Amino acid sequence: MEALGVTGDEVEGYGKGALVGIDGEIEHGSAIIHTLTFGNPFRSLCGNAETLLPSAEKRGAAGSSLDLAIKHKMDAKIRSHYMTFETRIPDAPRNDKIVIAAVVTTSGRAQPRIGSLHKGLEGVFPS
């Protein structure tokens, strides 16, 4: 957070992911990011966030992309913060390595046009 120049109170959205090299298994990345040892400190850094951290796990060669899912840190029904962030490291992961990524945002999407899930979906889908 210090490197990003933001405080946890400024964070609105967040997500996480693991990209496992081709000699590993997706389960290896999941074992790292789907623990309270990872999640609780990250939520704390994000201003005591409360929602489930969205995640992405993938196995791939060096240079593979990873699309990190993002949601609002306090209310998963705020759809303006539903977005993804694509990340890629040209020489990672090595075949026997894992890239762990975390993403934060200080706002939702620019010009969101869909409302909150707190509102009903009346009229959105025909019967």
The domain of 62 spans 13-105
User: Is there a domain that residue 3 lies in?
Assistant: no
Which pair of tokens denotes residue 51? 């929602």
Contact 81, 115 (CB under 8 A): no
Contact 21, 94 (CB under 8 A): yes
User: Is there a domain that residue 17 lies in?
Assistant: yes
- Identify the band that residue 75 occupies on the pLDDT scale cut at 50, 70 and 90: very high
Which pair of tokens denotes residue 110? 């620019």
- Identify the band that residue 34 occupies on the pLDDT scale cut at 50, 70 and 90: very high
Q: Would the pTM of this model clear 0.75, i.e. be above it?
A: yes
Other Cβ atoms closer than 10 A to 78: 20
* CA–CA separation, 48 and 76 (whole Å): 15
* CA–CA separation, 75 and 117 (whole Å): 10
CATH code of the domain covering residue 72 = 3.30.1330.110
User: Is there a domain that residue 120 lies in?
Assistant: no
